[in-house]
């Protein structure tokens, strides 16, 4: 056997458990089971003390039959109060004792030492004890040992993160709340303290009598203050207590070390009772022998009453027990302790008030518990103890009073025991029988329900009626009978019974319970509340009387209407919102309870817990179509689920656990005042109040908003606006009026530039353009903006900041109407631009700031402008995070912080396909996004025909592709197995890039040079393999492998040119365009070329538009946006792109306003390859994008494992 200890000077523990030694010690089966427990998070509260020699912890979960060493299973016992760990948690104590070198060597030569495997007192290296009672080592001991080994290994090597260590520190499954508190207490234990285990005895009363159970607790002693600790030495940490099974372990039958000699004797006597607990008092643990044993247990000073919280019971002096007979409403009488509280101990002063004693009558002599003094004591009775046992808690019938008094007199001739009262009995005819339902607090359940029959208006408890009983007896209250009131004597009325009507009323109650609250028997909160909401009104309508007794926990409150309170904050542009219901004239803020409900804690116990704001508690329960929220006074306020959903869809911030501030309000920016108007309409008009008139007026204006009026072009605008463009101008003016930002997201070619210029000219004519408007655009379209401004609004003074000489123009910014710059220069010149205040900040092709962490995005957010506008045909290309980035520029705070947006919208929509959340987001952004498609507004556009050319790979190209596919598939799987999918992104992208290159042309693969424009999405990453021949190298004759796509081009291009077609050919690979360029030269076809390296862009574009060349080769990144190429009527996409929006943008260079010819679009797809998979992904993305620009699989970086498998097969 290997040495279980290894020394490590750098480790906080001097001795480290070795997993291989533990496997040998426990055996493969037990070790595997325990290791699974650790991985599942069942080990917690782990502590390693005394330089690694002492290990303690909890192992939770019921072991399977294979987990134990053959001991029978036992039923769980009741928990010892609120602070105890759940019953299936077991406390483990492990002691490691290093052996002398000789002994270690001897052990190492005995790999399967029975002494070590069996577990006994003769072990020198490993001693494990567990409260489960099974033979050591059990699964609990093994699990704690393995977890400790993992933690020790991690502590000795900070760079190593063992899965076992993580499992011990942060379990995968939730830890019980009580156990988590205990762990926190252990972790924060002050220096100089040491946990000590001790055996605890717990007495708990119940409906079946009092029972005794055993627990293992942990106490701490302050080594530097022994005297002070002595007074508290019996206190234990109840939050760390767990049940104890009194079964000796090992061959010698020894108990764990914390069981002292006194306890051993007591445990053996308890085991002699023939059970391992809990033990009910009475039966075999009753009488004189039970009394003697119980007093010996009480004498240990480690007995608790009801709960392990607080100190144990102390011995007290004997108590007297004054008694009185209480007359019940039925006329029966029951023995009670005298309510004047005169029970005294022998040492009490006369008249000292005493609480009712708890009696232990199951043993002889009888004992009592004084819960106020926390003492146990004997009873000092002046009458026979048998009389007390005979009559305690047993109602005595009125007709038996005389016989019982005679019997008591015989046993107690000195009249110390109280006599029953003699009451007058009168007959009264039956007049009516009605039903009364009593709802009150329960004893073992939260609430109770009792049926009473009102005979002639007097109550009769249905539980006291006996079969065959002909009459009922009722005590006449003093208020009903003058004689009773005058003389104070009792009177009983005897009335003929109506059992048939009683049965009908009983059946009516059972029907109501079955119909409205089928789970009531299980004390389910939802069932109780459902019964209160529907069952009680139905019974009241049938004439039943309903009485709610004090302490009944399910009272309902009636709301008189909703309110929304808006409190303007001191900091500019923010306000606090409180939302709630008026109850009894008082405003109840429901936001804390709604936040709690929306976190999903519907099944939580409905115990009240007041929120810091004091408005409402966070307890709630769901019943049918209602959510019931518990208020501070204990009542439940019903709120319909439909209303909550509307609130959550409007105020999605409530889905965040930390949504509310310390004032229990939701902080919102003023720009979201429109949501309050939406909220007002969604909640059927709650009363909106505010301490800020301007804020309230803004909410009212938005609530009364009647729509947007189309506006004609302003005077001096040199063009006529189409109808939809006039609507767009009206919308832009609406945003300006309310100081809101927006996204003009019309399809490519519908004139976003024209509408924007008209908007700026209108502002100039109205005298509001007193500060320059900044337009940021891709460099490729700066010239287009200059041309369009000169063409449509030549009166505007335009300043273009571009090129190395732009710095000389910085001084002219303030005196210009329009300032144009490019995105690259925005980041470079950010300091200069941010020093100016602009009237408008307009981003053309605004998807350029879709990455919120990019420098250009950060620079854009720093711009100072009164109004902000984004122009883009694709507000979101890859994922919803890009949409958030745009709105973070337009209206910071509208969609919350990025992490909030991720939780509230992106994850539910993209991962869970949550339609309600998608609709909520669509409603949130609807006022700020204007999007029209060509099909909607530009009916005069010629048709666009999409043609997918599926090309079959020639045999050599197919072999080439399959060879790469198989090799890369194997490589990707290996990397994913080692690193996981998330950390294998570069490998996955590299593999997919090679496959796509093989589909285009085998010559692309392994060129070793950048062959792809820095395009959108993850494929802009170049292959990280600098030596492609080192792995998965193409064959030597790669240059001679044919390309199906190139062959198609060589055949089709001459035909298209001969037909007079004007062609745009897009590819994302610049290296592919170079190969196509060579082929076009061979075909003698004139062409133009536009890539990221092209300098004279405008000149190249003009050449094509003028008809100098029939073919325009364009890289997708360099020419996919911002160009007007209506001279073309044919578009060829040589290779498919992950995002269909990017391809659509490229196509719209030709299919746009001004096009007068039909447009044909060809997409070249290699059959049976990854390109077909891309086409399938595009179809799925386009369906979502048409609804909210939501594209779940926008790029390979977001693909699942199943998606990758599909791509490589």
Query: Is residue 64 packed enough to be buried (19+ CB in 10 Å), middle (13-18) or exposed (0-12)?
Result: exposed
pLDDT at 666: 76
Residue 128: C-alpha distances to residues 56, 153, 174, 956 (Å): 10, 20, 26, 68
Half-sphere exposure of 637 (CA within 13 A, CB side): 29
Superfamily holding 723-937: Tandem AAA-ATPase domain (3.40.50.10810)
- Provide the pLDDT confidence category of residue 498 given band limits of 50, 70 and 90: very high
Can you list the positions of beta strands (E) in 131-274?
Answer: 195-204, 211-220, 242-243
- Provide the pLDDT confidence category of residue 247 given band limits of 50, 70 and 90: low
| Mean pLDDT value across residues 1049-1068 | 87
pLDDT at 870: 94
- Provide the pLDDT confidence category of residue 484 given band limits of 50, 70 and 90: very low
pLDDT at 1202: 56
pLDDT at 863: 93
Listed residue (783, 734, 791) closest to 757, CA to CA: 791
State the Cα–Cα distance between residues 137 and 4, nearest whole angstrom. 15
Quote the distance between the C-alpha of residue 1154 and its chain's center.
52
Query: Domain extents for the chain?
Result: 19-293, 313-411, 424-548, 559-703, 723-937, 941-1209
> Is the link from the previous residue into 234 a cis peptide, with omega within 30 of 0?
no
Residues facing 531 on adjacent strands: none
- Provide the pLDDT confidence category of residue 1203 given band limits of 50, 70 and 90: low
pLDDT at 583: 84
Q: Quick check: 839 pLDDT over 70?
A: yes
pLDDT at 181: 41
pLDDT at 1150: 75
Give me the helices (H) in 782-914, please: 782-792, 823-828, 830-834, 855-862, 880-890, 898-901
| Residue range 119-135, pLDDT digits in tens | 333 334 677 878 776 77
| Residue range 945-969, pLDDT digits in tens | 787 887 888 888 888 998 888 888 8
Q: Quick check: 713 pLDDT over 80?
A: yes
pLDDT at 1072: 93
| Mean pLDDT value across residues 1069-1082 | 93
| Residue range 365-416, pLDDT digits in tens | 999 999 889 999 999 999 998 899 888 888 888 778 888 998 989 988 888 8
pLDDT at 1208: 60
Query: Is residue 190 packed enough to be buried (19+ CB in 10 Å), middle (13-18) or exposed (0-12)?
Result: exposed
In the chain, pLDDT over 90 holds for what percent of residues?
Answer: 19
| Residue range 416-438, pLDDT digits in tens | 899 988 888 888 999 999 999 99
3-state SS class at 92: strand
Q: Do 723-937 and 941-1209 agree at the fold level?
A: yes
CATH architecture of 941-1209: 3-Layer(aba) Sandwich (3.40)
Q: Quick check: 820 pLDDT over 90?
A: yes
pLDDT at 804: 83
Mean residue pLDDT of the chain comes to 75
pLDDT at 136: 73
Residues facing 423 on adjacent strands: none
Q: Quick check: 454 pLDDT over 80?
A: yes
pLDDT at 354: 53
| Greater model confidence, 250 or 1052 | 1052
| Residue range 1004-1022, pLDDT digits in tens | 886 543 444 433 333 333 3
CA dihedral 643, 649, 655, 659 (to 10 degrees): -90
Quote the distance between the C-alpha of residue 73 and its chain's center.
36
Q: Which of 534-548, 631-645, 1142-1156 has the lowest mean pLDDT?
A: 1142-1156
Residues 6+ apart with CB under 8 A from 382: 414, 416
Listed residue (87, 414, 403, 69) closest to 249, CA to CA: 69
| Residue range 275-321, pLDDT digits in tens | 667 888 887 778 888 888 999 999 988 999 988 888 899 999 998 88
Q: Which of 339-348, 839-848, 889-898 has the lowest mean pLDDT?
A: 339-348
| Mean pLDDT value across residues 485-504 | 77
For the chain, percent helix, then strand, then coil, each to nearest 5?
40, 20, 40
- Provide the pLDDT confidence category of residue 1078 given band limits of 50, 70 and 90: very high
Q: Which of 181-190, 833-842, 1055-1064 has the lowest mean pLDDT?
A: 181-190
Does the pTM of the predicted model rise above 0.95? no
State the Cα–Cα distance between residues 1116 and 604, nearest whole angstrom. 55
| Residue range 1178-1197, pLDDT digits in tens | 665 555 444 433 332 223 33
pLDDT at 56: 82
Tokens encoding 321: 């027990």
pLDDT at 1029: 33
pLDDT at 485: 43
State the Cα–Cα distance between residues 551 and 442, nearest whole angstrom. 9
State the Cα–Cα distance between residues 22 and 143, nearest whole angstrom. 10
pLDDT at 231: 43
| Mean pLDDT value across residues 1199-1207 | 54
Map tokens 């993305």 to a residue. 1181
- Provide the pLDDT confidence category of residue 1076 given band limits of 50, 70 and 90: very high
Q: Quick check: 978 pLDDT over 50?
A: yes
Residue 660: C-alpha distances to residues 413, 612, 674 (Å): 72, 11, 20
| Residue range 905-935, pLDDT digits in tens | 888 888 888 887 888 788 778 878 888 877 7
State the Cα–Cα distance between residues 493 and 1090, nearest whole angstrom. 108
| DSSP annotation of 969 | H
Task: Report DSSP letters for 618-649, one per residue.
Answer: S-EEEETTEEEEE-TTS-EEEEEHHHHHHHHH
């Amino acid at each position: 056997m290997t040495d279980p200890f290894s020394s490590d000077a750098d480790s906080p523990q001097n001795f480290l458990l070795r997993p291989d030694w533990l496997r040998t010690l426990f055996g493969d089966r037990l070790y595997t089971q325990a290791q699974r427990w650790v991985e599942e998070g069942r080990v917690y509260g782990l502590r390693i003390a005394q330089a690694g020699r002492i290990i303690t912890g909890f192992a939770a979960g019921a072991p399977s039959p294979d987990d134990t060493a053959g001991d029978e299973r036992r039923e769980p016992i009741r928990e010892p109060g609120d602070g105890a760990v759940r019953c299936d948690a077991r406390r483990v104590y492990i002691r490691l004792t290093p052996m002398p070198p000789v002994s270690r060597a001897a052990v190492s030569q005995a790999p399967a030492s029975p002494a070590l495997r069996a577990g006994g007192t003769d072990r020198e290296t490993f001693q494990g004890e567990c409260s489960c009672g099974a033979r050591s080592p059990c699964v609990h001991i093994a699990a704690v040992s393995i977890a400790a080994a993992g933690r020790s290994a991690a502590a000795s090597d900070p760079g190593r993160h063992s899965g076992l260590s993580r499992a011990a520190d942060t379990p995968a499954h939730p830890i019980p709340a009580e156990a988590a508190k205990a762990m926190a207490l252990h972790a924060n234990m002050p220096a100089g303290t040491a946990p000590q285990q001790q055996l605890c005895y717990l007495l708990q009363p119940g409906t079946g009598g009092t029972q005794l159970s055993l627990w293992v607790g942990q106490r701490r002693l302050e080594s530097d203050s022994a005297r002070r600790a002595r007074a508290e030495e019996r206190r234990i940490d109840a939050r760390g207590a767990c049940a104890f099974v009194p079964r000796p372990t090992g061959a010698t039958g020894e108990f764990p070390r914390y069981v002292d000699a006194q306890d051993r004797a007591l445990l053996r006597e308890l085991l002699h009772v023939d059970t391992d607990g809990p033990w009910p008092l009475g039966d075999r643990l009753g009488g004189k022998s039970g009394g003697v044993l119980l007093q010996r247990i009480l004498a240990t000073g480690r007995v608790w009453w009801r709960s392990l919280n607080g100190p144990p019971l102390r011995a007290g002096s004997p108590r007297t027990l004054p008694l009185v007979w209480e007359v019940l409403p039925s006329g029966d009488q029951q023995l009670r302790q005298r309510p004047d509280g005169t029970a005294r101990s022998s040492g009490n002063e006369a008249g000292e008030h005493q609480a009712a004693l708890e009696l232990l009558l199951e043993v002889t002599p009888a004992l009592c518990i004084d819960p106020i003094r926390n003492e146990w004591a004997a009873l000092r009775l002046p009458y026979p103890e048998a009389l007390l046992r005979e009559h305690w808690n047993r109602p005595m019938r009125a007709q038996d009073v005389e016989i019982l008094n005679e019997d008591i007199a015989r046993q107690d001739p000195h009249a110390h025991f109280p006599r029953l009262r003699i009451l007058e009995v009168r007959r009264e005819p039956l007049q009516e029988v009605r039903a009364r339902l009593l709802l009150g607090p329960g004893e073992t359940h939260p609430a109770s329900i009792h049926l009473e029959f009102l005979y002639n208006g007097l109550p009769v408890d249905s539980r006291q009626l006996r079969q065959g009983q002909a009459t009922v007896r009722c005590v006449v209250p003093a208020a009903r009978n003058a004689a009773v009131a005058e003389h104070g004597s009792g009177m009983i009325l005897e009335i003929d019974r109506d059992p048939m009507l009683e049965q009908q009323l009983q059946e009516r109650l059972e029907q109501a319970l079955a119909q409205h609250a089928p789970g009531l028997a299980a004390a389910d909160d939802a069932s109780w509340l459902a019964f209160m909401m529907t069952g009680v009104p139905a019974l009241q309508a049938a004439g039943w009387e309903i009485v709610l007794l004090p302490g009944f926990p399910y009272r309902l409150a009636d709301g008189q209407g909703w309110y929304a309170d808006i409190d303007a904050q001191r900091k500019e542009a923010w306000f606090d919102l409180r939302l709630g219901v008026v109850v009894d004239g008082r405003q109840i803020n429901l936001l804390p309870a709604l936040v709690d409900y929306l976190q999903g804690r519907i099944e939580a116990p409905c115990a009240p817990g007041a929120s810091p704001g004091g408005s409402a508690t966070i307890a709630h329960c769901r019943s049918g179509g209602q959510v019931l929220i518990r208020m501070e006074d204990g009542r439940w306020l019903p709120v319909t689920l439909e209303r909550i959903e509307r609130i959550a869809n409007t105020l999605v911030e409530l889905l965040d656990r930390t949504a509310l501030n310390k004032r229990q309000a939701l902080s919102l920016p003023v720009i979201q005042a429109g949501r309050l108007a939406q909220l007002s309409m969604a909640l059927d008009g709650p009363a909106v109040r505010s301490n800020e008139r301007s804020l309230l007026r803004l909410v009212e204006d938005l609530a009364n908003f009647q729509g947007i009026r189309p506006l004609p072009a302003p005077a001096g605008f040199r063009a006529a606006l189409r109808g939809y463009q006039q609507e767009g101008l009206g919308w832009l003016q609406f945003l300006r009026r309310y100081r809101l930002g927006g996204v003009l997201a019309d399809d490519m070619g519908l004139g976003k530039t024209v509408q924007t210029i008209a908007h700026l000219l209108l502002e100039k004519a109205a005298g509001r353009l007193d500060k320059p408007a900044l337009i940021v655009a891709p460099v490729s379209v700066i010239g287009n903006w200059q041309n369009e401004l000169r063409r449509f609004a030549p009166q505007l003074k335009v300043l273009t900041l571009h090129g190395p000489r732009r710095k000389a123009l910085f001084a002219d910014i303030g005196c210009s109407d329009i300032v144009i710059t490019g995105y690259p220069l925005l980041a470079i010149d950010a300091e200069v631009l941010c020093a100016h205040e602009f009237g408008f900040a307009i981003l053309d092709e605004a998807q350029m700031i879709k990455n919120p962490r990019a420098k250009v995005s950060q620079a854009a957010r720093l711009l100072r402008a009164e109004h902000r506008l984004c122009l883009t045909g694709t507000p979101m290309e890859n994922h919803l995070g890009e949409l958030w980035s745009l709105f973070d520029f337009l209206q910071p705070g509208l969609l919350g912080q990025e992490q909030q947006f991720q939780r509230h919208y992106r994850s539910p929509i993209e991962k869970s396909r949550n339609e309600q959340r998608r609709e909520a987001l669509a409603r949130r952004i609807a006022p700020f996004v204007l999007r029209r498609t060509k099909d909607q507004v530009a009916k005069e556009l010629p048709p666009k025909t999409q043609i997918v050319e599926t090309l079959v790979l020639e045999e050599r190209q197919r072999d080439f592709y399959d060879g790469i596919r198989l090799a890369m598939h194997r490589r990707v799987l290996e990397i994913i197995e080692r690193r996981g999918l998330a950390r294998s992104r570069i490998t996955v992208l590299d593999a997919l890039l090679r496959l796509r290159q093989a589909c285009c042309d085998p010559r692309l693969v392994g060129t070793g040079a950048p062959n792809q424009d820095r395009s959108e999405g993850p494929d802009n990453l170049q292959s990280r393999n600098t030596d492609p021949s080192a792995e998965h190298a193409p064959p030597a004759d790669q240059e001679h492998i044919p390309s199906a796509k190139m062959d198609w081009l060589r055949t089709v291009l001459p035909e298209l040119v001969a037909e007079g077609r004007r062609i745009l050919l897009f590819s994302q690979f610049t290296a592919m365009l170079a190969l196509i360029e060579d082929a076009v030269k061979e075909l003698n076809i004139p062409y133009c070329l536009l890539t990221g390296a092209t300098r004279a862009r405008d000149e190249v574009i003009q050449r094509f538009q003028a008809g100098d060349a029939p073919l325009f080769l364009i890289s997708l990144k360099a020419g996919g946006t911002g160009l007007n190429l209506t001279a073309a009527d044919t578009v060829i996409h040589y290779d498919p792109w992950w995002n269909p929006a990017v391809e659509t943008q490229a196509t719209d260079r030709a299919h746009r306003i001004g096009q007068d010819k039909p447009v044909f679009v060809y997409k070249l797809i290699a059959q049976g390859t990854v390109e077909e998979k891309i086409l399938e992904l595009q179809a799925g993305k386009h369906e979502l994008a048409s609804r909210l620009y939501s594209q779940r699989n926008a790029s390979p970086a977001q693909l699942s494992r199943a998606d990758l498998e599909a791509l490589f097969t």
